Amino acid sequence: MDTTAKRIAENLADIRQRIARAAARSGRTAADIRLVAGTKYVGPDLIRLLVEAGCVDLGESRPQALWDKAAALADLNVTWHLVGHLQRNKVRRTLPLVSLIHSVDSPRLAEAIDAEAAALSRRVDVLLEINVSGEAAKHGALPDEAAALLAVAAAQPRLNVRGLMTMARLEGDAAAARADFARLRQLRDELAGRCPPNVQLTELSMGMSGDFAEAIEEGATIVRIGSALFEGIA
């Protein structure tokens, strides 16, 4: 095996082991946590090596990059996730490619996705992105907007609202990240009590390379890991 492929496989094995240990600390197993590889730093060739190593959930932050990489890797059996901001004029091209949109951040976007889903006669799994730390540089509904966003999203006939997503504050240590993740879990628990019966907020998409252990300990069901997978590769 070439050294790049070997390094990626080693990084993946190491991350899976750390996921399993964090899951055990939260009374769960590795099977309860889905690893979505953040692929924004790398091109199709490295992504291909990652898929060959066994990681088939891929997440892109920018719709245009997702379109390009999905086309370049169309021969592979992978599942794409959109983890970054989705502009309404990019919904049409994105929808046929993705299995989960992590980043529904406004009622208008929820309505736009539903309209396109109707045109495709399919349903779409989505998460609501919440800006728990309230930083101006980040996308996501503020915590006090979350109930209104959920009400609109849950009323769209073609959307399956599966849970919530967040990014921890940009400036802050592990303890600050943990507090943001705990806040998302609490918000989920509050909203779950007020959800229509057809909506179950089971998924919490939170945790990246630097803070996924804390996120899992606080209840993450999906972690989005990019740079750590590609560490040590020129």
Ligand X SMILES: *Cc1c(COP(=O)(O)O)cnc(C)c1O
- Give me the residues that bind ligand X (CB under 6 A), please: 38, 40, 61, 83-84, 167, 208-210, 224-228
Residues 6 or more apart whose CB falls under 8 angstroms from that of 167 comprise 138, 140, 206, 208
Element (H, E) at 163: strand 159-165
What 3-state DSSP class applies to 154? helix
Nearer to ligand X, 57 or 123 (CB): 57
Report the residue closest to ligand X, judged by CB: 226
Nearer to ligand X, 155 or 228 (CB): 228
Q: Nearest distance from residue 38's CB to ligand X, in Å? A: 3
Q: Nearest distance from residue 204's CB to ligand X, in Å? A: 13
CB 223 within 8 A of CB 37: no
Q: Nearest distance from residue 200's CB to ligand X, in Å? A: 23
Q: Nearest distance from residue 121's CB to ligand X, in Å? A: 29
How far, in Å, CA of 56 to CA of 37, rounded?
8
Where helices occur in 63-127 by DSSP H, the ranges are 63-72, 91-94, 107-119
Q: Nearest distance from residue 76's CB to ligand X, in Å? A: 20
Q: What are phi and psi of 10, to 5 degrees?
A: -65, -45
User: How big is the chain by its Cα radius of gyration, in Å?
Assistant: 17
Q: Nearest distance from residue 161's CB to ligand X, in Å? A: 18
Nearer to ligand X, 40 or 88 (CB): 40
Helix axes 146-155, 107-119, angle to 10 degrees: 20
Nearer to ligand X, 65 or 182 (CB): 65
- Cα torsion angle, 63, 79, 201, 159, sign: positive
Nearer to ligand X, 20 or 228 (CB): 228
Nearer to ligand X, 51 or 225 (CB): 225
